[in-house]
């Protein structure tokens, strides 16, 4: 059984070790391997593979994503669409994302940025403390990651709502679905978190119109994809005072160019696409489980629906 790793070469050894630990019989190859035959590769384990590459492996059984988001795979115009594309779902990735979201929600809820600035200026005073039960957090996307973050924020006592395609039944979380409900969802959201996949329907969803529907003084946390945000419109809302702050982990270009206003904007916190990282040791368990399922003739878990785009 042969697997081809198509990602940053400096990560290959950690992945080889993790995968062979799970599947000792696996032949683990690392792209580029131009001298090797292409017709005996069974699986491609990928992060943003070059366009047109996957179609040159004629006997692939599946494309296994190294990330939860598969926008960097499905954007390939020559993608072999008959193959199952398997998303990464792993407790370590999920827990890490919830930690990131909770960290920044608490940061805004407890005015930690303002306190840091006050203390740096030698000021000793208090700001009003909000009732957690009245703090309205809204999560765009209630899937593996958004659903977990919503559940944990609700357990902390926040007033949590989420927006997804299909209705959700998560304890303590109000579920909104569909475009019409988006407006109502935004109107009640003081801290907006984006955990949507990047698709034709969600690209640019954080724009002048949707931001205007948030209450004055709202915060935005985007840890999904840079393409969800219309940068200039987010900046305009921060500059006008309508938005009180934004935390951005993902960008149209990563890293953003050195002169991008996000880097130095006083109301923007930038993190380097680290909201949650894939840890080979844990992810390999899940990937190996799906390879075993495919070998046994079963359908792998978490196959992308190409019609929906996620």
- Residue 46 vs 192, nearer CB to ligand OXD: 46
In angstroms, how far is the first alpha carbon of the chain from the final one? 27
Which does residue 76 bind out of ligand OXD, ligand NDP, none, counting CB within 5 to 8 angstroms by kind? none
C-beta of 50: minimal distance to ligand NDP in Å? 20
Reported as half-sphere exposure (CB side, CA atoms, 13 A), residue 31 has a value of 21
Q: How many residues bind ligand OXD (CB under 6 A)?
A: 5
Query: Contacting ligand OXD (CB under 6 A), which of 3, 28, 62, 69?
Result: 69
Q: Does the footprint of ligand OXD cover residue 138 (CB under 6 A)?
A: no
Q: Is 273 a catalytic residue?
A: yes
Q: Is 141 a residue that touches ligand NDP (CB under 6 A)?
A: yes
Q: What is the largest CA-CA distance in the chain?
A: 68
196 binds, among ligand NDP, ligand OXD, none (CB under 5 to 8 A by kind): ligand NDP
Is-catalytic flag, 225? yes
Q: Is 44 in the site for ligand OXD (CB under 6 A)?
A: no
CB 268 within 8 A of CB 248: yes
| 27: phi then psi, degrees, rounded to nearest 5 | -95, 115
Closer to ligand NDP by Cβ: residue 104 or 163: 163
Site for ligand NDP in 233-252 (CB under 6 A): 249-250
Q: Among 53, 60, 68, 101, indicate the residue that binds ligand NDP (CB under 6 A).
A: 68
Q: Residue with structure tokens 């046994």?
A: 296
8 A C-beta contact, residue 195 and residue 140: yes
Q: How far is the CB of 29 from ligand NDP (least distance, A)?
A: 26
Query: Applying CB under 6 A, which part among 23-31, 57-65, 162-170, 251-259 lies near ligand NDP?
Result: 162-170
Q: Which residue is nearest to ligand OXD (CB)?
A: 67
Size of the site for ligand NDP (CB under 6 A): 31
Alpha-carbon distance values, 283 to 210, 280, 287 (Å): 35, 5, 6
Residue 165, binding choice from ligand OXD, ligand NDP, none, Cβ under 5 to 8 Å by partner class: ligand NDP
Is residue 68 close enough to count as binding ligand OXD by CB under 6 A?
Answer: yes
CB of 167 to ligand NDP, least distance (A): 8
**Residues making up the chain, counted from first to last:** 310
Catalytic residue among 48, 109, 136, 225: 225
Site string for ligand OXD, 271-310 (x = CB under 6 A): -------x--------------------------------
- Structural contact between residues 120 and 105, judged by C-beta atoms closer than 8 angstroms: no
Q: Is 123 exposed, middle or buried (0-12, 13-18, 19+ CB in 10 A)?
A: exposed
What residue ranges bind ligand NDP (CB under 6 A)? 67-69, 93, 97, 141-146, 163-166, 195-199, 201-202, 223-225, 249-250, 273, 275-276, 310
What residue ranges bind ligand OXD (CB under 6 A)? 67-69, 88, 278
Catalytic residues: 225, 273
């Amino acid at each position: 059984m042969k697997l081809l790793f198509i990602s940053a070469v400096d990560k290959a050894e950690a992945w080889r070790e993790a995968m062979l630990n799970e599947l000792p019989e696996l032949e683990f190859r690392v792209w580029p391997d131009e001298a090797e035959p292409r017709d005996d590769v069974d699986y491609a384990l990928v992060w943003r593979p070059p366009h047109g590459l996957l179609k040159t492996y004629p006997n692939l059984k599946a494309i296994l994503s190294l990330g939860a988001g598969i926008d960097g795979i499905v954007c390939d115009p020559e993608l072999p669409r008959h193959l199952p594309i398997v998303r990464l779902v792993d407790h370590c990735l999920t827990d890490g994302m919830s930690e990131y979201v909770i960290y920044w929600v608490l940061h805004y809820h407890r005015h930690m940025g303002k306190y840091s600035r006050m203390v740096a200026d030698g000021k000793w005073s208090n700001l009003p403390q909000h009732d957690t039960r009245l703090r309205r957090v809204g999560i765009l996307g209630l899937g593996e990651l958004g659903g977990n973050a919503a559940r944990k924020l609700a357990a902390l006592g926040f007033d949590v709502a989420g927006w997804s395609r299909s209705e959700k039944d998560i304890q303590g979380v109000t579920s909104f679905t569909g475009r019409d409900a988006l407006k109502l969802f935004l109107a009640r959201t003081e801290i907006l978190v984006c955990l949507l996949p990047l698709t034709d329907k969600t690209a640019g969803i954080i724009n002048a119109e949707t931001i205007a529907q948030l209450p004055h003084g709202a915060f935005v946390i985007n840890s999904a994809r840079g393409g969800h945000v219309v940068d200039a419109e987010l900046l305009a809302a921060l500059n006008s005072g309508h938005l009180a702050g934004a935390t951005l982990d993902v960008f149209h270009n990563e890293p953003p160019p050195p002169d991008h206003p996000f880097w130095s904007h006083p109301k923007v916190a930038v993190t380097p696409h680290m909201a949650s990282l894939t840890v080979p040791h844990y992810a390999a368990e899940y990937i190996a489980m799906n390879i075993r399922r495919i070998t046994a003739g079963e359908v792998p878990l978490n196959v992308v629906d190409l019609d929906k785009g996620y």
